[in-house]
Amino acid sequence: MHASSRNRAARVEYALPQEAASARWARRLTSGFLGHPAMPDGVSGRVDEAVLIVSELVTNAVRHGNSRCRLRLSAASSGVTIEVHDEDPHTPAVKPLTEDATGGRGMAIVGLLARQFDITADRGGGKTVRAVLAGT
C-alpha cells in the first residue's frame, strides 16, 4: 500500500481462493486497509459500508463464479472503489427488495449503498463487479 499523504490515493489487490472463508478474509483485509492511519481524508467514514459490500461481492464470486476471485480496493478523498473479479461471464441477478424475501437481496443492497454500481465483462474472460462509495 502506498499512501504517503492524506490527499493521495491508495490501492491494493488481493487474490482469494474459491472457498467460503474468502469472504471472512476479504472483510478483514478491507477493514485493515481502509482503517490504516495513512488513508486519505474521507475514507474512514465508509469502512462499514465497504466491508458489507466486499462481503457480498466476494461471497457471490466464490459461490457463483466457480473460480477464485480478485479483490481490488482503491481509496481517495473522493471515495472508495471496490472491484471483485471472477471467471464466470454470467451477470449476477439484482433482485428487488421485498419484505418477504429470505435471501438474494445482497446485490440490491450493494446498489443502494453505492454511488455507482456496475458489472463489466472482461476481455480475458469473466467479469468485474464494481461499487463506488462517495467520500465523507
13 has a pLDDT exceeding 90: yes
pLDDT at 102 over 70: no
Asked whether residue 5 carries a pLDDT value surpassing 50, the answer given is: no
Query: Is a pLDDT exceeding 50 seen at residue 74?
Result: yes
Residues of the chain with pLDDT > 90: what percent? 60
Residue 25 binned pLDDT confidence (cut-offs 50, 70, 90): very high
Residue 84 grid coordinates: 471483485
Q: Helix 106-113 crosses helix 47-64 at what angle (to 10 degrees)?
A: 150
Buried b (16+ CB within 10 A) or exposed e, 109-122: ebeebbeebeeeee
Model confidence over 120-134: pLDDT tens digits?
Answer: 999 888 999 999 998
CATH for 121: 3.30.565.10
Expressed as residue numbers, the domain containing 41 is 10-134
Is residue 2 one of the residues assigned to a domain? no
Would 4 be classed as within a structural domain? no
Give the strand order in the sheet containing 10-16: 10-16, 69-76, 79-86, 127-134, 116-121
Domain total of the chain:
1
Residue 3 in domain: no
Is pLDDT of 33 > 90? yes
| Residue 54 falls inside a structural domain | yes
Question: Is 114 inside a domain boundary?
Answer: yes
What is the sign of the dihedral through the CA atoms of 82, 126, 86 and 66?
A: positive
| Structure-model confidence comparison of residues 107 and 17, the more confident one | 17
